[in-house]
A and B are shown apart, each in its own frame.
Chain A
Amino acid sequence: MSIDARIADDQPDSFAFTRENEAEAKRIIAKYPKGRQASAVMPLLDLAQRQHDNWIPMKAIEMIAAKLDMAEIRVLEVATFYTMFNLKPVGTYFLQACTTTPCWLRGSDNMMRCIKDRYGISSGETSECGRFTLLEVECLGACVNAPILQVNDDFYEDLDYASTGALLDSLEAGSPLPVGSVTGRSGSEADGGATTLQELKPAE
């Protein structure tokens, strides 16, 4: 996708952190040695994104650049490098579908097809209802439970066509399924339940 298409045309005229976020930003910046405030650019972008409906307006980029004494283009470079930063509005549910090799081998195509069938959206698009935005992303780092769909901050794992549908149903209904594997397995234990270390009891 070209860069222009990734940045919203309609931009707010201003952006400022809320009082709490301003304090939080101060705390984050203080973590880094003097003269190295630029290191705080990613947490601050994240903070701005969380405050602003899950997307970062250009005014926020300029504000963060001024705060960290960086050139605006440097902040924009970071914000465009990571797919996790949105530079234009996204739906209430921001779906990040992993299609890297392990997920793809385990059927991420089916997961993607389900989303496409329901909302007619491909990567980078938002559904007509405005509630779902899909983005194809690189490895989410949970290959053991592939395929993965990240919904806002949460991972849903072991998805196939049907379970993706069930997940989307639950999101539409406003009562999302429990986070984690949709097959019910705990963490990343084997498919048919634990096979080793069964004598160990979880600590009370």
Chain B
Amino acid sequence: MPKLTVNGIEVEVEDGATVLHACEEAGVEIPRFCYHDRLSIAGNCRMCLVDMERAPKPIASCAMPAGEGMVIRTDTDRVTKAREGVMEFLLINHPLDCPICDQGGECDLQDQAMGYGFDSSRYEENKRAVEDKHMGPLISTTMTRCIHCTRCVRFATEVAGVPELGAIGRGESMEITTYLEKTLASELSANVIDLCPVGALTSKPYAFTARPWELNKTESVDVMDAVGSNIRVDSRGAQVLRVLPRLNEDINEEWISDKTRYAIDGLRRQRLDRPYVRGRDGKLAPVSWDDALGIVAARLKKAKPAAIAAITGDQCDAESMFALKRLFDKLGSGNIDCRQDGATIGGARAGYLFNSTIAGIDEADALLIIGSNPRIEAAVLNARIRRNWLATRLPVGVVGPQMDLTYDTETLGDDPAILADILSGKAKFAAKLKRAKKPMIIVGMGALARPDGAAILGKAHEIADTYGVVAGGWNGFNVLHTAAARVAGLDLGLTPGRGQMDVAGMYKAAEAGKLDIVWLQAADEIDADRLKDAFVIYQGHHGDRGAHIADVILPGAAYTEKDGIYLNTEGRVQYAGRATFPPGEAREDWTIIRALAGRMGINLGFDSLDELRTELSEIVPHFADQDEIKSARWAKFGGRGKISSTPVAAALDGFYMTCAVSRASETMGQCLMALQADLAQADQAQDAAE
């Protein structure tokens, strides 16, 4: 651990740290453009120059390894002058268009020019101009502003794993572009917008919408997947204008997926903003809350408890699920299910959590993926697997369809019978699992959301036992969910008990005319046709599949419009904040249930969100521990039955449109179209080649 002096302050840094790290350790801020903690070191902007004793000229601190006994000064005239010189060079070809630039107000170049820039320019020649590049529907480019830090190139190559961005030409004619100006084919592509220290890459859907200082910033949690990425929701008035990542080393670091960032325009479209009731003519007609609740209350009172059921959706907050469960308990019905995809999970917590934690991926030395495509189901998590693969060539075996996960994988086939071969050691990949000290298994919904899912889970449990996946403080057995609400739902016990109906049972009962009422709480990933014979109460925020078959619509709030607790796939308890109010007459979901209970004369035991949360944490204590994971004891779970030979398929059939919000999003629609166009073009090229 080298010791060095920075401006007279002695600091000790880790082996392999750079002078820049040492300066930060000493509390000295170093200006930089190209350097980024999570990317490789380029050393090409030269802004981080510092003085080193006995060095003839200033050194680039980001690229200089910290050495024992170095004496660094950052406050000399020479350093200031050198940085001013670098800044002057950078500004030579940078346009003075800050007033019309979307980066204005949150621009590294603008900020640092305040510290190191001159008040006037000595440059009288023509500035260079660069043609803008096409990078797809998310990234807007103004390449004249580019200062060639190459952060975007390094991000695409290293983190996203799609080496499509590059710097072509050299010197003054250097330009950043994709090969033949293709759309950047990554689920993480828009992170280059955050990385860009200037306004060269800015957000296309957000273009010219707002200045950063006009926005209300709310800390929240993403619900587009089960990773639970930490986000900041920027809103103005009633509108959510953009979503940015928040740093959380244990979950998303500082990345978020494109869907997390851009599905939000779906929050403005197809919204249910007032209660509706289906009239005798079969059409939904707007009614008052009073009437809507009256009808629901009357129906529920009349129905037999065994003939009412509820399905909760994939993005519900824990509070509303808890309120609904409490209501159904009071009504005497246990027909409630949070697994609308029919996943056969529940019971022992170790059987449905990402036990190793997401950060645990960094330690794994062999990975078996069963029925999951982490690239589209959890793009940020996939980037972590890729990082491990880059560093250690992590062997990854995949049971499922052939797919490109941005790292090398061994496709073991999509026949579930391969699991038995792995268990017996017959499959080649078994040897790699055996050798591994910290083997990891990720089981996805592609393997669990099928009738024999419990048996597959059981088989995975056996594999885990056989190969030491759970041993000595390491638990590498992971379930990767696709639904943000799933773990909270399972923790709250939103699964039917013996003799009660799960989702499949509800379908059957509805078709047989034995289901009087089904309550859909923002549940849209269902086979709506099979439920339509029942009286459908839809409580949710979007006019999607569920609302189409509804007899009564109770308009609720989307995830940015309510305070809520979400548990990600690890079981980490996270509190999301409300950024805006629900539109029109829509209400926060738990209040709807509370109002209905009041109407029916049922006491749910809470009258405010605080009381609800207190009640909730009395029943499931770990819900009170914000940002904590209550780890699960290794236990028995899964079934023993026969595993069918149906191929293990993908849980999601695409990345961009997977929920009511993203289906309503124009931006996601454009992404999907761009992707399809690129695929069609690639196909054509392939055909031509053949």
Query: Interface of A with B (CB < 8 Å)?
Result: 1-4, 6, 13-14, 58, 71-74, 76-77, 80-81
Pair A73/B165 contact, Cβ less than 8 Å: yes
Pair A73/B178 contact, Cβ less than 8 Å: yes
Pair A2/B167 contact, Cβ less than 8 Å: no
Pair A80/B179 contact, Cβ less than 8 Å: no
Residues in B neighbouring A73, C-beta threshold 8 A: 163-166, 168, 177-179
Cβ contacts A to B, 25 pairs, < 8 Å? A1-B173, A2-B131, A2-B175, A3-B168, A3-B169, A3-B173, A3-B175, A14-B689, A58-B180, A71-B166, A72-B179, A73-B164, A73-B165, A73-B166, A73-B178, A74-B163, A74-B166, A76-B168, A76-B179, A77-B168, A80-B168, A80-B169, A81-B168, A81-B169, A81-B170
Residues in A neighbouring B168, C-beta threshold 8 A: 3, 73, 76-77, 80-81
B153 (CB) vs chain A CBs: closest residue: A73
Say yes or no: is B130 at the interface (Cβ < 8 Å to chain A). yes
Residues in A neighbouring B131, C-beta threshold 8 A: 2, 4
CB contact between B166 and one of A4, A13, A58, A76 (< 8 Å): that residue = A76
Cα–Cα, bound, A71→B164 (Å) = 7
A73 (CB) vs chain B CBs: closest residue: B166
Ranked 7 nearest A-B pairs via Cβ: A71-B163, A73-B166, A80-B168, A73-B179, A72-B179, A77-B166, A81-B170
Pair A77/B163 contact, Cβ less than 8 Å: no
Pair A2/B163 contact, Cβ less than 8 Å: no
Residues in A neighbouring B512, C-beta threshold 8 A: none
Residues in A neighbouring B180, C-beta threshold 8 A: 58
Cα–Cα, bound, A2→B170 (Å) = 11
Main secondary structure of the interface of A (DSSP, over half): helix
Cα–Cα, bound, A51→B657 (Å) = 48
Say yes or no: is B55 at the interface (Cβ < 8 Å to chain A). no
Cα–Cα, bound, A80→B178 (Å) = 14
A6 (CB) vs chain B CBs: closest residue: B169
B164 (CB) vs chain A CBs: closest residue: A73
Main secondary structure of the interface of B (DSSP, over half): mixed
Q: Which of A4, A58, A71 has the most CB of B within 10 A?
A: A71
Q: Number of A-B pairs whose CB atoms are under 8 Å?
A: 43
Pair A80/B164 contact, Cβ less than 8 Å: no
Cα–Cα, bound, A76→B180 (Å) = 10
Residues in B neighbouring A81, C-beta threshold 8 A: 168-170
Cα–Cα, bound, A3→B143 (Å) = 13
Q: Which of A3, A72, A73, A76 has the most CB of B within 10 A?
A: A73
Q: Scoring B residues 175 to 190 as 1 if CB is less than 8 Å from chain A, else 0, what string do you get?
A: 1011110000000000
Residues in B neighbouring A58, C-beta threshold 8 A: 180
Say yes or no: is B688 at the interface (Cβ < 8 Å to chain A). yes
Query: Interface of B with A (CB < 8 Å)?
Result: 130-131, 157, 163-170, 173, 175, 177-180, 688-689
Q: What's the least CB distance linking B155 to chain A, in Å?
A: 14
Residues in A neighbouring B689, C-beta threshold 8 A: 14
Residues in A neighbouring B157, C-beta threshold 8 A: 71
Residues in B neighbouring A76, C-beta threshold 8 A: 166, 168, 179
A62 (CB) vs chain B CBs: closest residue: B179
Cα–Cα, bound, A58→B165 (Å) = 16
Pair B166/A2 contact, Cβ less than 8 Å: no
Residues in A neighbouring B173, C-beta threshold 8 A: 1-3
Q: What's the least CB distance linking B123 to chain A, in Å?
A: 20
Residues in A neighbouring B166, C-beta threshold 8 A: 71, 73-74, 76-77
Cα–Cα, bound, A77→B176 (Å) = 10
Cα–Cα, bound, A199→B336 (Å) = 106
Cα–Cα, bound, A34→B689 (Å) = 29
Q: Given A2-B130, A3-B173, A72-B179, are A77 and B164 also a contact pair (CB < 8 Å)?
A: no
Q: What's the least CB distance linking A45 to chain B, in Å?
A: 14
Q: What's the least CB distance linking B294 to chain A, in Å?
A: 63
Q: What's the least CB distance linking A59 to chain B, in Å?
A: 10
Cα–Cα, bound, A4→B165 (Å) = 16
A61 (CB) vs chain B CBs: closest residue: B179
Q: What's the least CB distance linking B532 to chain A, in Å?
A: 50
Residues in B neighbouring A72, C-beta threshold 8 A: 179
Residues in A neighbouring B164, C-beta threshold 8 A: 71, 73
B170 (CB) vs chain A CBs: closest residue: A81
Q: What's the least CB distance linking B603 to chain A, in Å?
A: 64
Cα–Cα, bound, A4→B129 (Å) = 13
Cα–Cα, bound, A11→B340 (Å) = 52
Cα–Cα, bound, A1→B178 (Å) = 18
Cα–Cα, bound, A71→B163 (Å) = 6
Q: What's the least CB distance linking A124 to chain B, in Å?
A: 11
Residues in B neighbouring A1, C-beta threshold 8 A: 173
Cα–Cα, bound, A99→B164 (Å) = 35
Q: What's the least CB distance linking B127 to chain A, in Å?
A: 14
Cα–Cα, bound, A72→B165 (Å) = 10
Residues in A neighbouring B165, C-beta threshold 8 A: 73
CB contact between B167 and one of A4, A6, A71, A77 (< 8 Å): that residue = A77
Residues in B neighbouring A6, C-beta threshold 8 A: 169
Residues in B neighbouring A13, C-beta threshold 8 A: 688
Residues in B neighbouring A14, C-beta threshold 8 A: 689
Cα–Cα, bound, A66→B562 (Å) = 51
Cα–Cα, bound, A76→B165 (Å) = 11
Residues in B neighbouring A74, C-beta threshold 8 A: 163, 166
